[in-house]
Amino acid sequence: MEQTPAWLASSFIYLCAAVVAVPLSQALGLGPIIGYLAAGIAIGPWGLGLVTNVQDILHFSEFGVVLMLFLVGLELEPRRLWNMRRSIFGWGSAQVIGCALALAIGAMACGAGWRLALVAGLGLALSSTAIALQVLAQRNQLANSSGQAAFAILLFQDVAAIPILALLPLLAVTSQVDTAAQPSLAWELARIVGVIAAIVLGGRLLLRPVLRWIARSRTPEIFTAAALLLVVGIASLMLLAGLSMALGAFLAGVLLAESEYRRELETDIEPFKGLLLGLFFMAVGMSIDFGVLRQSPLWMALIVVGFLTAKGIVIYLLARIIELPFQERPLFILLLAQGGEFAFVVFRAATGAHVFSEQTGSLLIGAVAVSMLVSPLILVAIDKLLLPRFADCGVPQLEEISEPQNAPTIIIGFGRYGQIIARVLLAQGLPATVLDHDAEMIEVARNFGYRVFYGDATRLDLLRTAGAATAKILVVAVDDVEQSLEIVDLARTHFPNLQIVARARDVTHWNKLRDRNVMLVQRELFESSLRSARSVLELLGQEPAEAHAIARRFRQHNLELFEKLHPHYHDPAKLIAVVKEGRNQLEEQMAQERLDRANAAANPPKVTTDTT
């Protein structure tokens, strides 16, 4: 039998490890990153030993970070990036310099030499762009204040890695490189400026015409190849200039952010980015040197805990200066406190330049890898233990409703649904007592002149104070289904005089409200969806009156069908049968109506005239 090629065997191993570990990690609530890291540890040199060429895999998988930053750049227009310049160079420089100083001082206090302390501080000050952006994207927090601040700082770190690497030969204890043979600093700067200028000018003048020409071929796979070629080419140019590949890819993405092919580029590159990022996290897991960890466990623990704590304090102070919301600070601090992938490059280069010994380099690299491993675990603990306790920190504290009210209508919930009802009543001069338990929403409502009381309507005493004993109507407009049902149960038990008008989030919610004999229930998207359907029919050529009649007929049929379904919604088989029967009846009815209209149009009634 022919021997299995090495690349095929390796691919099989990586995919098997990922397919097993990541869903298991997700099921345990640990997230996909922990799954990839655990898979890497399992198949790496200190696990099953199925993969030994860790450094080659790590270099290859770093391309996932490159693709990720290219996609991030595609979401940033040059004008927006220019507007972020103060954040990038202000907050970014403050984070890197502040963390590097704190770590260097701490290392020197532990007896390290100034060279070792400086390089260790600079390397450990860097954070993992891959993990941070992945977590922020999963949580949809890239657009909020902490996400923008974290992104600006991470981008500065990519820039800062260049001078840090350039500094290492100057710190070498014994230089074994002929300094005369090294290129001058001016030449290095000229080469860097030239490469960046070539990317900027090429992006402005050449990329769009080339992509337009390739798109005309109408061959999707070639456009995908062109997208990958673009990223690989720019990454190679940056590497030749001694710059960060990820920084070059990000710059290319920014230049194409206003391109008409932006979405197509995102769609083509996204699958490659996901797979390579997963491989990168697996490679990080493989690279953890458990031999060093076993030889110096106390030093490893001291370094990891020490640099996470020192960076955490500095970043916490920075978060206070930036005035980030309390609820966003824990994630911001954790994502920037962990070590980063560029630290691997810095410490390997420092070892090669003889700034410190190979054992010290292995210890520092291991500490960075361990911090990247434990950070997702800490994040799970923060989500479950810390954030729920401090969810109300920084939120305006309001006094609960205390004065008895006597309006005939009580509205629970002043969100997008309750606001419309309240405004209609107020416009007619009809008083209403409005309750909401979201302090921020109440502050905004009061700024616009609305009188909204703070209170949790699931509490009987607050409902009494709101006037439920004398009111005529209770409008339940809250978004949370369980809370809505609890309020209805409370009102039915203690205030049977109230007529309840309720908002239903979905069909299940509608059925549960009907179980409680709430007859005036509106599904929150039903009427607006019908109006949109009418607009679509009109755009497709239907007469407005005809489109209106069709929508009205559908509405009537749907409401009647729901009444038929309600007794059977606990029986899935019966429910499906009734739905199918109702759908067939509607289709047949509307088909017959279309046929009648067509016949009427083809045979208009004859008009007779009286000739007498």
First to last CA, the chain: 105
Do 449 and 350 belong together in one domain? no
Asked if 278 and 409 sit in the same domain, the reply is no
Give yes or no for residue 260 having a pLDDT over 50: yes
Longest dimension (CA), the chain: 125
- Bridge-based pairing of strands 473-476 and 432-436 is unpaired
Cα separation values, 162 from 142, 345, 569, Å:
25, 11, 63
Residues 254 and 126 placed together within one structural domain of the fold = yes
- Choose among 83, 115, 94, 118: nearest CA to 104: 118
Residue 32 placed within a domain: no
Residues 301 and 358: their CA atoms lie apart, in Å, by 19
DSSP type of residue 400? B
Verify that 292 and 404 share a domain, yes or no.
no
Q: What is the pLDDT of residues 203-235, one digit of tens each?
A: 667 777 777 787 777 777 777 787 778 778 877
pLDDT score of 310: 92
Same domain, 464 and 575: no
476 backbone φψ class: left, alpha, beta (φ>0; ψ -120 to 50): beta
Provide the CATH number for the domain around residue 364. 1.20.1530.20
123 domain-assigned: yes
Contacts of 46 (CB under 8 A, 6+ apart): 288, 289, 290, 291
The whole-chain average pLDDT of the chain stands at: 78
Higher-confidence residue of 337 and 455: namely 337
Give the mean model confidence (pLDDT) for residues 461-490. 88
Count of C-beta atoms within a 10 Å radius of residue 43: 22
Same domain, 463 and 495: yes
Tally of CB atoms within 10 A around 467: 18
Q: Does residue 14 belong to any structural domain of this protein? A: no
Neighbours of 331 (CB within 10 A): 23
C-alpha separations of 18 from 40, 205, 277, 299, 323 in Å: 9, 41, 12, 31, 39
* 34-48, 259-273, 341-355, 386-400: the lowest-pLDDT one: 386-400
How much is the average pLDDT of 122-140? 82
pLDDT(321) > 50: yes
Instruction: Flag whether pLDDT at 53 surpasses 80.
Output: no
Pairwise CA distance, residues 521 & 485, whole Å: 12
**Other C-beta atoms lying within 10 Å of the C-beta of residue 189:** 11
- Domain containing 420: what range? 398-524
Which one of 385, 418, 437 terminates a domain?
385
Residues 504, 569: one domain?
no
- For 403, the 3-state DSSP assignment is coil
Per residue in 428-455, pLDDT tens? 888 888 888 777 677 777 776 677 888 7
Q: What is the mean pLDDT of residues 188-207?
A: 71
User: Which run of H or E residues covers position 234?
Assistant: helix 220-240
Give me the pLDDT at residue 311, please.
Answer: 92
What is each CA distance from 576 to 97, 352, 568, 581, 582, in whole angstroms?
A: 64, 69, 9, 9, 10
Q: Residues 549-558: pLDDT tens digits?
A: 888 888 887 7
Q: Domain boundary residue among 524, 541, 556?
A: 524
Using the predicted structure, report yes or no on whether residue 542 has a pLDDT greater than 90. no
Token representation of residue 60: 């290859």
What's the pLDDT at 179?
Answer: 47
Residue 471 lies in a domain: yes
Interatomic CA distance for residues 19 and 22, integer angstroms: 6
Find the CATH number of the domain harbouring 480: 3.40.50.720
Q: Identify the DSSP state of 382.
A: I
* Selected residue with higher pLDDT from 71 and 531: 531
Closest CA to 370 of 453, 296, 461: 296
Question: How far, in Å, CA of 432 to CA of 410, rounded?
Answer: 6
Are 302 and 369 members of one domain? yes
Would you put residue 140 in left (φ > 0), alpha (ψ -120 to 50) or beta? left
The region of weakest confidence among 293-297, 423-427, 482-486 is 293-297
The tokens describing 168, both together, are 């290492």
pLDDT the model gives residue 556? 82
Indicate if 442 and 575 belong to the same structural domain. Answer: no
Say what the pLDDT of residue 3 is: 63
- For 382-400, the pLDDT digits (tens) are 777 766 666 555 555 555 6
Asked if residue 121 has pLDDT above 70, the reply is yes
pLDDT at 178: 46
**Looking at the domain assignment, is residue 106 inside a domain?**
yes
Report the pLDDT value the prediction gives residue 593, as an integer from 0 to 100. 67
Single out the residue of 599, 53, 91 nearest to residue 323, CA to CA: 91
User: Which of 180-194, 330-344, 403-417 has the weakest average pLDDT?
Assistant: 180-194
How far is residue 198's CA from residue 214's CA, in Å, rounded to a whole number?
21
Do 454 and 569 have their domain in common? no
Q: Is residue 490 part of a domain?
A: yes
Q: Hey, what are 598's tokens? A: 């067509």
Query: Which strand ranges, in their side-by-side order, compose the sheet holding 520-523?
Result: 453-454, 432-436, 409-412, 473-476, 499-504, 520-523
d(CA 63, CA 85): 26
Q: How far apart are CA 256 and CA 77, in angstroms?
A: 8
pLDDT at 204: 67
| Residue 71: both structure tokens together | 């996609």
The answer as to whether 393 is a domain residue is no
Percent of the chain with pLDDT over 90: 5
Cα gap 226→269, rounded to integer Å: 10
Question: Which of 385, 406, 436 is the last residue in one of the domains?
Answer: 385
Number of domains in the chain: 3
Rounded Cα distance between 152 and 134, Å, is 15
Residues ≥6 apart with Cβ < 8 Å to 554: 530, 533, 586
- C-alpha angle 347/351/355, rounded to 5°? 100
Task: Return the higher-pLDDT residue of 469 and 70.
Answer: 469
- Please give the model's pTM, rounded to 2 decimal places: 0.59
Express each pLDDT in 233-249 by its tens digit. 877 777 776 666 777 77
Residue type, 215: A
User: What is the gyration radius of the CA atoms in the chain, in angstroms?
Assistant: 32
Report whether pLDDT(562) > 80.
Answer: no
Helix axes 544-565, 572-602, angle to 10 degrees: 160
CB 223 within 8 A of CB 277: no
Region 266-275: mean pLDDT is 74
Phi-psi region of 244 (alpha: psi -120 to 50; beta: other; left: phi over 0): beta
What six digits make up the tokens of 215?
A: 């798109």
Pairing of strands 499-504, 520-523: parallel
251 and 316 inside one domain:
yes
367 and 417 co-located in one domain: no
Read off the pLDDT of each residue in 389-415 and give the average, rounded to a whole number.
Answer: 71
3-state secondary structure of 433: strand
pLDDT at 324: 83
Q: Is the pLDDT of residue 140 over 70?
A: yes
